[in-house]
């Protein structure tokens, strides 16, 4: 029988993040391919998908060729159980990615060698830095004519505010790209370009001085590789695993995911370097993964994963102890005990019922509406895990019912989709006015599509002139009542019943903050668990 320590040691839980079109979904598939979880990869071609990517399972994702919901997949590789969370690449779904980052122990950041560090990459990295999440960088698309490798490394350090250390190095680039040298192991691996199946190693050498190197890659590329490695050893700090796990240094790998170049080096090194499940901060104490008693938190809710069954799944990250099927656990927010007869693990849309789960595992719990994002389950102790904030949206629109006969379906759909985290819901005037806030326009399209196809409801959206949503708390009730009389038409409540001020302009927000110094205005919802 396994001990908790043994089970923790076997597990690696991580997310793959990137700017749209950097190759994140392709890399995800190749990791699954190397792990034997899938046999052939579905090529993602712009917005036209014939073989749809394994991790993109919602109908709208298949139509548009983008990932809009976080997929959870687990597979085994060299006796390590990997929990892989593939995040939405599209910037409009950044908040789903932010939440997912709370559930992982490390991150692989994919960067396009042609475009370098892009805006979304910087934003995602900021979230990783907030928690000191260990980050591994994979510079992708080396089979294209991209930037100079050393220039890319400089850009990573400058824009992402983190030290980097190459652990693999490409041999040439673009049309003459021949493979990658694994600096960490001191070996060279060349693959023949193959987009769907894994090729066996053609060459593996243990030293750059091996005369076979010239024979295989040519004298010019062999000499360039030796010079580059000498420069790397002279310029960059030696790789330090402690600093990596503390989030202070990022190892860098090069490759071409679509051609299987460099993916094995990344995966082999990742399972050795990446941390096993780590301790988590709760509101009353730090929770260690090797504690005997179970605890975990919900970081994502997804309705209708299977369109044939109107099911709703709460994704839970196990933080400590052992989760067991059909055992009662304590729902801290509701102060009730629940048991789960069909807990599942996932390979994208396919699910398998499990009997137990350990720290680091991500499991799906069938939910009848009891869970909200951020909820904590324990074996009885009352604490809440921290660190799943909502941020102010950027676009605000009022929901207009297009079919009054389907009002109940619309209300249910809007409630479930916003609890899922697709967008934020703000309610005014005793529930009669519903305002949806999102990061981008695409979310409204997804909400409209899903309301129609999953709930049979139709709606339109009316744009509102709102600059920012600020959560409002107070100690002085009289001051808040005065504020409510003065600005009641701009007050709303969020899904948890917290007051939110919808400021129309930056100037108005600053004026209100000055005029009501006894009120506290918060730019994210984290104050709720502070």
For residue 182, the 8-state DSSP code is E
Sorted by where each starts, the structural domains of the chain and their CATH numbers stand as: 4-273 (3.40.50.300), 282-378 (3.40.50.300), 395-529 (3.30.70.3280)
Q: Which helix (H) or strand (E) holds 191?
A: none
Decide if 181 contacts 229 (C-beta within 8 A). Answer: yes
d(CA 177, CA 289): 43
Has this prediction a pTM greater than 0.85?
Answer: no
19 falls in which pLDDT band (50, 70, 90)?
A: confident
Give strand pairing partners of 451: none
User: DSSP letter at 239?
Assistant: P
Q: Name the burial class of residue 45, with classes exposed (0-12), middle (13-18) and buried (19+) by CB atoms within 10 angstroms of its CB.
A: exposed
Percent of the chain residues topping a pLDDT of 70: 85
Q: How far apart are CA 373 and CA 318, in angstroms?
A: 14
Question: pLDDT exceeding 90 applies to what percent of the chain?
Answer: 45
191 falls in which pLDDT band (50, 70, 90)?
low
pLDDT band with cut points at 50, 70 and 90 for residue 68: very low
Average pLDDT over every residue of 316-334:
95
- Backbone phi, then psi, for 448, in 5-degree steps? -60, -45
Within 473-517, residue ranges assigned H as helices are 477-487, 506-515
Q: According to the model, what pLDDT value does residue 64 have?
A: 46
Distance CA(439)–CA(459), nearest Å, equals: 19
Query: Whole-angstrom Cα distance, residue 298 to residue 138?
Result: 29
pLDDT for 287 equals 96
Q: Give pLDDT tens digits for 138-166.
A: 999 988 888 889 999 999 999 988 999 99
- CA 14, 16, 21: angle at the middle one, nearest 5? 175
Least confident of 227-231, 323-327, 521-525: 521-525
pLDDT tens profile 412-470: 999 888 877 778 999 997 778 999 998 778 889 888 988 998 899 999 999 999 999 99
What is the chain's mean pLDDT, rounded?
83
Contact 128, 47 (CB under 8 A): no
pLDDT at 8: 94
């Amino acid at each position: 029988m396994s001990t908790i320590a043994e089970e923790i040691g076997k597990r690696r839980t991580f997310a793959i993040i990137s700017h749209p079109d950097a190759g994140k979904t392709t890399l995800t598939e190749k990791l699954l391919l190397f792990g034997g979880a899938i046999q052939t990869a579905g090529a993602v071609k712009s917005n036209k998908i014939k073989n749809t990517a394994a991790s993109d399972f919602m109908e709208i994702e298949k139509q548009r060729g983008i990932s809009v919901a976080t997929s959870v997949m687990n597979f085994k590789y060299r006796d390590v159980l990997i929990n892989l969370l593939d995040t939405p690449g599209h910037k409009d779904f950044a908040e789903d990615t932010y939440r997912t980052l709370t559930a992982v122990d490390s991150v692989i950041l994919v960067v396009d060698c042609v475009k370098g560090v892009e805006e979304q990459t910087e934003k995602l990295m900021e979230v990783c830095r907030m928690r000191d999440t260990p980050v591994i960088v994979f510079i992708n698309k080396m089979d294209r004519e991209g930037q100079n490798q050393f220039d890319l490394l400089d850009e990573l350090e400058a824009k992402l505010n983190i030290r980097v250390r190459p652990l693999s190095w490409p041999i040439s680039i673009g049309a003459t790209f021949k493979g990658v040298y694994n600096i960490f192991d001191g070996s060279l691996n060349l693959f023949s370009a193959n987009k769907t199946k894994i090729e066996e190693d053609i060459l593996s050498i243990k030293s750059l001085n091996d005369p076979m190197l010239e024979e295989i890659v040519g004298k010019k590329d062999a000499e360039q590789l030796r010079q580059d490695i000498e420069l790397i050893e002279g310029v960059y700090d030696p790789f330090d695993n402690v600093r990596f796990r503390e989030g202070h240094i990022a190892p860098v790998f090069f490759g071409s995911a679509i051609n299987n170049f460099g993916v094995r080096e990344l995966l082999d090194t990742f399972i050795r370097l990446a941390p096993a499940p780590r301790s988590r901060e709760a509101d009353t104490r730090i929770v260690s993964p090797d504690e005997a008693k179970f605890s975990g938190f919900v970081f994502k809710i997804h309705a209708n994963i299977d369109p044939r069954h109107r099911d709703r799944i709460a994704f839970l990250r196990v933080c400590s102890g052992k989760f067991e099927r059909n055992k009662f656990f304590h729902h801290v927010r509701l102060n009730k005990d629940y048991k789960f007869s069909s807990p599942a693990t996932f390979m994208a849309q396919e699910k398998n019922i499990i009997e137990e789960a350990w720290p680091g595992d991500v499991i799906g719990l069938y939910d009848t509406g009891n869970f909200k994002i951020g909820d904590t389950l324990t074996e009885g102790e009352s604490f809440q895990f921290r660190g799943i904030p909502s941020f102010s949206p950027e676009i605000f629109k009022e929901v207009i019912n297009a079919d009054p006969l389907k009002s109940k379906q619309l209300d249910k759909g809007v409630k479930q989709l916003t609890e899922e985290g697709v967008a934020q819901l703000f309610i005014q005037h005793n529930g009669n006015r519903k305002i949806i806030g999102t990061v981008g326009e695409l979310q409204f399209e997804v909400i409209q599509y899903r309301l129609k196809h999953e709930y049979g409801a139709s709606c339109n959206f009316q744009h509102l002139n709102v600059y920012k949503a600020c959560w409002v708390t107070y100690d002085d009730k009289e001051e808040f009542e005065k504020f409510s009389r003065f600005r009641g038409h701009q007050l709303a409540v969020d899904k948890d019943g917290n007051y939110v001020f919808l400021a129309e302009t930056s100037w108005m927000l600053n004026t209100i903050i000055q005029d009501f110094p006894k009120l506290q205005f918060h730019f994210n919802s984290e104050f709720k668990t502070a």
